[in-house]
């Protein structure tokens, strides 16, 4: 997968690594500590449902979506870092959507105007937006922050 796609300008390893780096930057900026990514996998099966998730559809040099799944404790820690006292489901879903929007907005700043995004969807107990259509590439990037494991999903269509 290290070959660069000359037609679209999309280089999967480089571009997915950039998105993962934006997740690390988000945690460092908000909490002062970095998330750490575990080995990534390319899957044929959909991952297990997280406690909370967010999804943003993307279009441009490639089409697909970015999703992030996190446990309640991770989101509660993020809210605490921001000085937010609420921990109800609405606050946790808002935090999920806000986090994903920030990461994808930073990706758009990096990749340029050719990356078009839609507003985030959030869900509890399931993957936001479901898994309609089988993506060509389903890359699962688990990460740790304060002993809590989250999952970044990059789903791309050819």
* Per-residue pLDDT reduced to its tens digit, 6-15: 334 556 778 8
Percentage of the residues of the chain whose pLDDT score is greater than 70: 89
Nearest by Cα to 37 from 156, 139, 155: 139
Residue ranges per domain, the chain?
A: 12-157
CATH class of 12-157: alpha beta
pTM of this structure: 0.87
Can you tell me the distance from the alpha carbon of 6 to that of 65, in angstroms, rounded to the nearest whole number? 22
Can you tell me the distance from the alpha carbon of 66 to that of 128, in angstroms, rounded to the nearest whole number? 10
User: Is the pLDDT reported for residue 148 higher than 60?
Assistant: yes
* Per-residue pLDDT reduced to its tens digit, 77-109: 999 999 999 999 999 999 999 999 999 888 888
């Amino acid at each position: 997968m290290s070959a660069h796609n000359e037609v679209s300008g999309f280089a999967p390893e480089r571009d997915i690594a950039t998105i993962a780096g934006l997740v690390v930057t988000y945690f460092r900026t908000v909490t002062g500590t970095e998330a750490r990514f575990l080995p990534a996998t390319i899957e044929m099966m959909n991952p297990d449902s997280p406690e909370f998730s967010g999804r943003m559809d993307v279009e441009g040099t490639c089409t697909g979506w970015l999703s992030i799944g996190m446990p309640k404790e991770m989101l509660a820690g993020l809210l605490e870092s921001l000085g937010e006292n609420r921990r109800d489901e609405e606050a946790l879903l808002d935090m999920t959507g806000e986090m994903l929007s920030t990461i994808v907005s930073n990706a758009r700043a990096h990749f340029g105007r050719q990356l078009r995004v839609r507003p985030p969807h959030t869900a509890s107990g399931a993957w936001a937006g479901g898994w309609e259509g089988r993506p060509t590439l389903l890359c699962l990037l688990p990460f740790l922050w304060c002993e809590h494991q989250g999952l970044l999903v990059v789903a791309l269509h050819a």
